[in-house]
Structure 1
Amino acid sequence: MTEKIFASVDNEKTIIPDDNWYGFKKIPFHVTPDSQMVFNHRRYEEAFSALQYGIFQGKGFIVITGEVGAGKTTLVRHFLSMIGDSLRCAVIFNTGLEPRELLCAIAEDLGIEKDRIAGAGIKEIIDAVNAVLLEEFERGRMVAVFIDEAQNLSIESLETLRMLSNLETETEKLLQIILIGQPELQKTIAKKELRQLRSRVAVTYHLMPMDCEETFAYIKHRIELAEPDRKVEFTRASTELVYKYSGGIPRVINIVADQALLIGADIQSETIDKDIVETVIEGFAHLDSPPDSSGRISIMRIVIVFIAFCVLLFGIFRAVNLKKVEKNIDASVNNEERAEIISPLRKLLTHYNITASKDFDAMKLSAIASTTGLKLFNVKLSSASIERLRLPALLIPGNAILSNSEPALITDIKNGVWKIESLERGELSLEISMQNVEVSYLVPDRPYFARILRRGMRGEDILSVQKNLFKEKLLLNEPNGYFGNGTVEAVRKLQREFFLREDGVIGPETMLAIFKVSFEKKK
Structure 2
Amino acid sequence: MYLQHFGLNEFPFSITPDTSYYFASASYQDALNTVIFAVTTGEGFIKVTGEVGTGKTLLCRKLMSSLDQSYKIAYVPNPYLEPQSLLMVLAEELNISLPSDTQITQHLILNALTHALLNFARDNIKVVVCLDEVQAMPIETLEALRLLSNLETEKRKLLQVVIFGQPELEDKLNHPSIRQLKQRITFDYQLDLLSRDEMAYYLNHRLSIAGYHGSRMFGRIALYLMYFHSKGVPRLINILAHKALLATYGKGKHQVGVREVLAAVSDTQSIETTWRKIGLKSLSLTMLFGLFGIILLMFINNPKLY
Shift of 1:294: 7.5
Structure 1 CA distance for aligned equivalents of residues 2 and 277 of structure 2: 35
Structure-2 residue corresponding to 1:274 = 258
Question: Which structure 2 residues correspond to residues 423-462 of structure 1 after superposition, within 5 A?
Answer: none
Structure 1 CA distance for aligned equivalents of residues 158 and 144 of structure 2: 16
Structure-2 residue corresponding to 1:214 = 198
Find the partner of 1:237 among 201, 221, 225. 221
Structure 1 CA distance for aligned equivalents of residues 104 and 19 of structure 2: 37
Shift of 1:127: 1.6
Structure-2 residue corresponding to 1:191 = 175
Q: Indicate the SS of the match to 1:279.
A: helix
**Is the 1:50–1:204 Cα contact (8 Å) retained in structure 2?**
no
Find the partner of 1:297 among 278, 282, 291. 278
1:124 paired to 2:105: no
1:104 paired to 2:108: no
Q: Aligned residues: percent identity?
A: 34
Q: How many residues align?
A: 281
- Higher mean alpha-carbon deviation, 243-252 vs 81-90, is at 81-90
Shift of 1:273: 1.6
Shift of 1:38: 0.8
AA partner of residue 271 (structure 2) = P
**Is the 1:61–1:176 Cα contact (8 Å) retained in structure 2?**
yes
Structure-1 residue corresponding to 2:78 = 94
Question: Which structure 2 residues correspond to residues 488-503 of structure 1 after superposition, within 5 A?
Answer: none
Q: Indicate the SS of the match to 2:27.
A: helix
Q: Indicate the SS of the match to 1:145.
A: strand
Q: Deviations over 1:322-371 (max 9, x none)?
A: xxxxxxxxxxxxxxxxxxxxxxxxxxxxxxxxxxxxxxxxxxxxxxxxxx
Shift of 1:217: 0.7
1:155 paired to 2:155: no
Structure 2 CA distance for aligned equivalents of residues 203 and 174 of structure 1: 18
Find the partner of 2:238 among 231, 234, 254. 254
**Is the 2:98–2:109 Cα contact (8 Å) retained in structure 1?**
no
Shift of 1:296: 4.8
Shift of 1:241: 1.0
**Is the 2:83–2:140 Cα contact (8 Å) retained in structure 1?**
yes
AA partner of residue 167 (structure 2) = P
**Is the 2:117–2:127 Cα contact (8 Å) retained in structure 1?**
yes
Shift of 1:228: 2.6
Structure 1 CA distance for aligned equivalents of residues 84 and 245 of structure 2: 47
Find the partner of 2:35 among 37, 40, 51. 51
Structure-1-length-normalised TM-score = 0.51
**Is the 1:67–1:294 Cα contact (8 Å) retained in structure 2?**
no
- Higher mean alpha-carbon deviation, 197-206 vs 262-271, is at 262-271
Structure 2 CA distance for aligned equivalents of residues 291 and 276 of structure 1: 18
**Is the 2:217–2:256 Cα contact (8 Å) retained in structure 1?**
yes
Q: 1:86 to 1:180 in 2, by over 3 A?
A: same
Shift of 1:197: 0.9
**Is the 1:68–1:292 Cα contact (8 Å) retained in structure 2?**
no
Q: Indicate the SS of the match to 2:271.
A: coil
Structure-1 residue corresponding to 2:150 = 166
Q: Indicate the SS of the match to 1:90.
A: strand
Structure 1 CA distance for aligned equivalents of residues 275 and 125 of structure 2: 39
Structure 1 CA distance for aligned equivalents of residues 276 and 55 of structure 2: 11
Question: Which structure 2 residues correspond to residues 326-475 of structure 1 after superposition, within 5 A?
Answer: none
Q: Indicate the SS of the match to 1:260.
A: helix
Q: 1:118 to 1:60 in 2, by over 3 A?
A: farther
**Is the 1:137–1:174 Cα contact (8 Å) retained in structure 2?**
yes
AA partner of residue 136 (structure 1) = F
Structure 2 CA distance for aligned equivalents of residues 156 and 231 of structure 1: 54
Find the partner of 2:161 among 174, 177, 189. 177
Q: Indicate the SS of the match to 1:146.
A: strand
Shift of 1:46: 1.2
Larger fraction in helix = 2
**Is the 1:260–1:280 Cα contact (8 Å) retained in structure 2?**
yes
Structure 2 CA distance for aligned equivalents of residues 117 and 298 of structure 1: 56
Structure 1 CA distance for aligned equivalents of residues 240 and 158 of structure 2: 44
Structure 1 CA distance for aligned equivalents of residues 83 and 101 of structure 2: 14
Q: 1:34 to 1:21 in 2, by over 3 A?
A: same
Shift of 1:291: 7.6
- Max Rg structure: 1
Structure-1 residue corresponding to 2:184 = 200
Structure 1 CA distance for aligned equivalents of residues 208 and 266 of structure 2: 27
Structure-2 residue corresponding to 1:142 = 126
Relative contact order, CA 8 A, sep 6+: which one is greater? 2
Q: Indicate the SS of the match to 2:156.
A: coil
Shift of 1:202: 0.7
Structure 1 CA distance for aligned equivalents of residues 62 and 102 of structure 2: 33
**Is the 1:252–1:291 Cα contact (8 Å) retained in structure 2?**
no
Structure 2 CA distance for aligned equivalents of residues 20 and 264 of structure 1: 13
Q: 1:295 to 1:47 in 2, by over 3 A?
A: farther
**Is the 1:150–1:181 Cα contact (8 Å) retained in structure 2?**
yes
Q: 1:60 to 1:75 in 2, by over 3 A?
A: same
Q: Deviations over 1:62-120 (max 9, x none)?
A: 11111111000000111212223121010011211111111111111110125459633
Shift of 1:131: 1.5
Larger fraction in strand = 1
Q: 1:139 to 1:42 in 2, by over 3 A?
A: same
- Segments of 5+ residues of structure 1 without an aligned counterpart are 1-16, 301-523
CA RMSD across the alignment: 2.1
Q: 1:19 to 1:99 in 2, by over 3 A?
A: closer
**Is the 2:2–2:249 Cα contact (8 Å) retained in structure 1?**
no
